[in-house]
Amino acid sequence: MSSRLATHAQGKVFVDEVFDAVAAVGRATAQHGKENVINATIGSLCDEQEKLVLLPTVERVFRDLGSDDIAGYASVRGFPEYLTAAIDQTFKNSKPDAYIEAVATSGGTGAIHNFIWNYSNIGDAVLTHDWHWQPYTVLCSDIMRRLESFTFFDDKQKFHIESFASKVRELIAKQDNLVIILNTPNHNPTGYSITDAEWDQIIAVINQNATGQKTIALLADIAYIDYATDPNQCRTFMKKFDTLSPNVFAAFAFSMSKGFTLYGQRMGALIGVSKDKQAIDEFVNAAVITCRTRWSNLSRAAMRTLAGIYKDKTLLEQVDQERRQYAALLQQRADLFVTEAKAAGLKFLPYTAGFFITIPTDNPVAVSNILRESNIYVVPMAKGIRIAVCAVPVNKIRGLAVKVAEAFNKA
Ligand code: PLP
């Protein structure tokens, strides 16, 4: 008998890229003891004892919530205090001179889904960089779009503007709407941050191509922004968004997962930016309907937590300070890996900050399997291996790059 599923739902199989690695880590830990296993697979921040970090002030505000806020429904669009806090946290000193409106979403993932759904047509290509967070692919295919990519890095390991421009031209020639997703700063899986000068070039390309009937919708996925070394400098590019042409709609995918360490609460926001009042109004209308139909409304507790932190300057400063300490720890781990990798002649993708460092290879599975023989667990991706420096304590980072280099030589 043929499938009972509707045509669009047939043939789908969920592949969890990290599942196999996580299961293998569990077995190795049981057999050899935690101290003898390096688990560089986890995409969450862990402390030096390898315990998941929950920022103490975030935890306190969350645990102090009353029963109404734990059990009650929230509004479909999200509480105004939450949305204002999400906007302030996103832009800090770098608000573009434009209308800015937000809707609450189920994490950054929900923001990305909401944006693709409302700014591309069925059958359209959506454009992103070749190195990207894998779920972008299924976020597109599940709603009958397809992900296409440009080459992220040129031979100087900088943003490949020619590849970007030629792919934008190619796609916009074939379709009227083009969604572009750029994950920066502190990109997953490389750690790269697009520079302000590169943003100028990107915006010029977008403005040149969004003319006449053609519209471009640009989404900045800023999931890892709060782990930048300088919270103001990493946001200066945002100010440039008021120079986008009227045929461009821009948005930011805000997430409380990494910045507020509340991954499981599934809280985020899609934040639209436009000089055009009509464009921002239609954004809110369409995006709120998507919220209503996908998840109805979201965690009231998580929204109240962010709103509560933003209501009290002292709390906000405490959260910032606690996060800064962890960001410094992350940087220390990454610096150590980078220094040792350079000494060992290991070529990694350009890292600015963030949770991961990636080493390109044509043999990711072979390298990963060789590392497993030494109880080192990484995530093999299509064209490289990903090391989650966010999860590995400094004492286990020491010597890791040398072992990875040896595995590369063997493979
Ligand atoms: N974007 C990137 C690049 C990510 O790595 C993630 C999570 O890992 C997200 C977005 C979305 O995270 P969440 O849905 O938990 O906010």
Query: 326 pLDDT band (50/70/90 cuts)?
Result: very high
Q: At residue 70, what is the residue type?
A: I
Please give the C-alpha separations between residue 245 and each of 171, 199, 252, 282, 348, in angstroms, as whole numbers: 18, 14, 17, 17, 36
* β-sheet with 248-255: strand ranges across: 99-106, 267-274, 248-255, 215-221, 177-183, 125-129, 146-150
Q: In 304-369, which ranges are E strands?
A: 356-360
Question: Does the C-beta of 109 come closer than 6 Å to ligand 1?
Answer: yes
Q: What is the pLDDT of residues 253-271, one digit of tens each?
A: 999 999 999 999 999 999 9
Query: For 379, phi and psi rounded to 5 degrees?
Result: -100, 115
- Mean of the pLDDT values across residues 155-164? 97
Q: At residue 171, what is the residue type?
A: L
Question: Does the C-beta of 43 come closer than 6 Å to ligand 1?
Answer: yes
- Mean of the pLDDT values across residues 357-384? 95
Answer whether residue 118 shows pLDDT above 80: yes
The rounded distance, in Å, linking the Cα atoms of 406 and 411 is 9
Looking up tokens 């990494």 gives 258
Q: At residue 222, what is the residue type?
A: I
Question: Does the C-beta of 255 come closer than 6 Å to ligand 1?
Answer: yes
Q: What is the pLDDT of residues 91-101, one digit of tens each?
A: 999 999 999 99
**C-alpha of residue 109 to centroid of ligand 1, in Å:** 6
Query: 17 pLDDT band (50/70/90 cuts)?
Result: confident
- Closest ligand 1 atom to Cα of 266: 15
The rounded distance, in Å, linking the Cα atoms of 232 and 224 is 14
Cβ contact 214:312 at 8 Å? no
Phi/psi region, residue 251 (left: phi>0; alpha: psi -120 to 50; beta: rest), is beta
Q: Which residue has the higher pLDDT, 256 or 15?
A: 256
Answer whether residue 296 shows pLDDT above 90: yes
Q: H helices within 72-195, ranges in order?
A: 80-91, 107-119, 135-141, 161-174
Helix axis angle for 313-343 and 300-311, nearest 10°, is 100
Query: What are the chain's domains?
Result: 7-56+316-410 (3.90.1150.10), 73-312 (3.40.640.10)
Answer whether residue 288 shows pLDDT above 90: yes
Could you tell me what percent of the chain has a pLDDT over 70? 100
What is residue 149's predicted lDDT score, i.e. its pLDDT? 98
Q: What is the pLDDT of residues 52-105, one digit of tens each?
A: 999 999 999 999 999 999 999 999 999 999 999 999 999 999 999 999 999 999
Answer whether residue 202 shows pLDDT above 80: yes
- Mean of the pLDDT values across residues 160-173? 98
Nearest CA to 272 out of 258, 286, 257, 259 is that of 286
Q: Which residue has the higher pLDDT, 383 or 18?
A: 383
Cβ contact 179:119 at 8 Å? yes
What is residue 192's predicted lDDT score, i.e. its pLDDT? 97
Cα-Cα end-to-end distance for the chain? 45
The rounded distance, in Å, linking the Cα atoms of 391 and 187 is 16
Question: Does the C-beta of 221 come closer than 6 Å to ligand 1?
Answer: yes
What is residue 2's predicted lDDT score, i.e. its pLDDT? 87
Exposure string for 194-225, b = 16+ CB within 10 A, e = fewer: bbeebbebbbebbbebbeeeebbbbbbbbbbb
Question: Does the C-beta of 188 come closer than 6 Å to ligand 1?
Answer: yes
Q: At residue 300, what is the residue type?
A: R
Question: Does the C-beta of 257 come closer than 6 Å to ligand 1?
Answer: yes
Q: What is the pLDDT of residues 215-249, one digit of tens each?
A: 999 999 999 999 998 999 999 999 999 999 999 99
**C-alpha of residue 108 to centroid of ligand 1, in Å:** 5
Query: 338 pLDDT band (50/70/90 cuts)?
Result: very high
Query: 356 pLDDT band (50/70/90 cuts)?
Result: very high
Answer whether residue 35 shows pLDDT above 80: yes
Q: For ligand 1, pick from 257, 260, 298 the residue to mutate: most ligand atoms within 8 Å of CB.
A: 257
Mean pLDDT, the chain, rounded, equals 96
What is residue 317's predicted lDDT score, i.e. its pLDDT? 97
- Closest ligand 1 atom to Cα of 355: 5
Nearest CA to 322 out of 97, 79, 57 is that of 57
Structure tokens at 82: 């939450």
Question: Does the C-beta of 108 come closer than 6 Å to ligand 1?
Answer: yes
- Mean of the pLDDT values across residues 394-403? 97
- Closest ligand 1 atom to Cα of 112: 10
The rounded distance, in Å, linking the Cα atoms of 324 and 326 is 5
**C-alpha of residue 304 to centroid of ligand 1, in Å:** 21
Question: Does the C-beta of 183 come closer than 6 Å to ligand 1?
Answer: yes
Nearest CA owner, ligand 1 atom 12: 108
**Angle, CA 336 vertex, CA 331 and CA 339 arms, to 5°:** 120
What is residue 14's predicted lDDT score, i.e. its pLDDT? 87
Nearest CA owner, ligand 1 atom 8: 43
Q: Which strand (E) or helix (H) includes residue 371?
A: helix 364-372
Question: Does the C-beta of 107 come closer than 6 Å to ligand 1?
Answer: yes
Cβ contact 176:211 at 8 Å? no
Cβ contact 302:255 at 8 Å? no
Q: For ligand 1, pick from 139, 182, 221, 261 the residue to mutate: most ligand atoms within 8 Å of CB.
A: 221
Question: Does the C-beta of 191 come closer than 6 Å to ligand 1?
Answer: no
Nearest CA owner, ligand 1 atom 1: 223
- Closest ligand 1 atom to Cα of 133: 3
Mention every residue, 6+ apart, whose C-beta is less than 8 A from residue 362.
Answer: 383
Nearest CA owner, ligand 1 atom 9: 108
Answer whether residue 371 shows pLDDT above 90: yes
